[in-house]
Chain A
Amino acid sequence: MYTAEFTYKKAGSISEAISLLQQHPDAKLLAGGHSLIPTMKLRLASPPALIDISKVAELRGVRLEGDHLVIGAMTTYHELETSDLLKQHCPIIPQAVHLIGDPMVRAKGTIGGSLAHADPAADLPASMLALDAKIKVQGPGGARVIAADNFFTGMFSTAMQEGEILTEVHVPVRAGARMAYAKFPHPASRYAVVGVAVVADGGSVRAAVTGAGEHAMRLSKLEQALAGKPLTAENITAACQGLLPPDHLNHDLVASKEYRAHLVDVMARRALMQAAGL
């Protein structure tokens, strides 16, 4: 149960965190710790130093800025789940977060930690893609914004570079959009075997899946099939067929490739039905 030894540094600001990262090149950032610490306890990771950014005030909280919401990277799941701003303007986030882990995980885990970690079975990446979120990162060379579509690049890998910190998530506010997340949880770990997020805005649908492949991805076939169509039960059912070919999907004790592919169809249908209020 003991991790290897490491040096502990607490950052008080983003700039301090960036300079600490420069001083300790092999260090890991510590956010909620709910992905990092379990792997360290099993000694699957043994970073020589941890830089705790969880208490950096400028990284916390949800606010409305013009036509988008800004979510600080260190905002916890619990804060997301209970945020009135999100419930009002972006209900898919509280809804998806409510299905993550358990209340204790939600008390500590953060949106920034989850996106930076890019676990293929994590829940939030699907909603980020469906929402067309922008992810802001900051490093020694300054800040940049990465579209969620370009952020997840592989299993546990993202478009962030060494020394960069994920600071904010920007979510466009879409009045009148209908959105929902449907999840088939792993029976033991409760991570997503398959989770599908859908955002329907006017005649267009953005949909994304997590758990199915190496990283969360858009369901373009579904989006095209529903483009310009009303969200009726018939249209939804017809569209949610064979959304992903099984060949490149994940497989494990709980779900083979074929079964996962099937679950993508079922979860997509359920998310759409819920979004459509059917």
Chain B
Amino acid sequence: MPDKVQIKVTVNGVEHHNEVEPRLLLVHYLRETLGLTGTHVGCDTSQCGACTVHLDGQAVKSCTMFAVQADGCNLTTIEGLGSAGNLHPVQEGFWEMHGLQCGFCTPGMIMAAVDLLNKNPQPSEAEIRHALEGNLCRCTGYHNIVRAVQYAADKMAGKIGAAADD
């Protein structure tokens, strides 16, 4: 069996040191080694985006990376984005606009949307739709996901006040 590799990663602000098999995918490291099951696996061909997390501030598909590649990196998962009572504007947008139904695509969709707004704070509808090309949702028809991202963009630009009840 090939040697295990020692890695150090910071996930949601917490530093972790682990010995991992080289073939361990980042998504399985997050879900199984660290117990962060908010990041999901929806496919085995790198198409669905359910596994999207932020690696050094950029959205990536954690199913298309080995954990060893994240050595020395800073990761943010859905669990580290915001918590109930202190939601990120994108999380708030998904709640306010009913941007989710079964919730399975949601963590990846939210992480991709945050990445979009980091790069382009006031996207047009077409830009939102293009930026979400790597995230599949079978429930919502994307209608309210688009509205959720628009809500978050407005909120981050200070155009919307505090949400009603959170």
Contact = CB atoms under 8 A, between A and B. Distances in A.
A1 B66 CA distance: 12
Interface in A82-129: 101-105, 107-108
B63 A6 contact: no
Contacts of A8: 2, 5, 22, 66, 68
A5 B1 contact: yes
Nearest to B131: A103
Contacts of A54: 69
Interface residues of B, number: 37
B75 to A, nearest CB: 13
Contacts of B69: 30, 33, 52, 54
A91 to B, nearest CB: 18
Contacts of A42: 44-45
Interface string A6-21: 1110100000000000
Interface stretch (B53-61, B95-103, B139-147): B53-61
B134 A5 contact: no
Contact of A102 (B28, B45, B58, B133): B133
Contacts of B22: 5-8, 50
A52 B71 CA distance: 12
Interface string B36-68: 000001001111010010010011110111101
A4 B23 CA distance: 7
Contacts of B166: none
Contacts of B61: 104-105, 108
Contacts of B132: 102
Interface in B115-165: 115-116, 119, 131-135
B41 A103 contact: no
Given A5-B2, A8-B5, A103-B134, A108 B65 contact: yes
A230 interface: no
Contacts of A104: 49, 52, 59-61, 64, 112, 115, 134
Given A5-B1, A107-B59, A38 B64 contact: yes
Contact of B47 (A30, A33, A52, A189): A189
Contacts of A103: 59, 112, 115-116, 119, 131, 133-134
Interface string B12-45: 0000000001110100100000000000010011
A52 B3 CA distance: 16
23 contacts: A3-B25, A5-B23, A6-B2, A7-B22, A8-B2, A8-B66, A8-B68, A30-B69, A33-B64, A33-B65, A34-B46, A37-B46, A37-B65, A38-B46, A41-B63, A103-B115, A103-B119, A103-B131, A104-B59, A104-B61, A107-B59, A107-B60, A189-B47
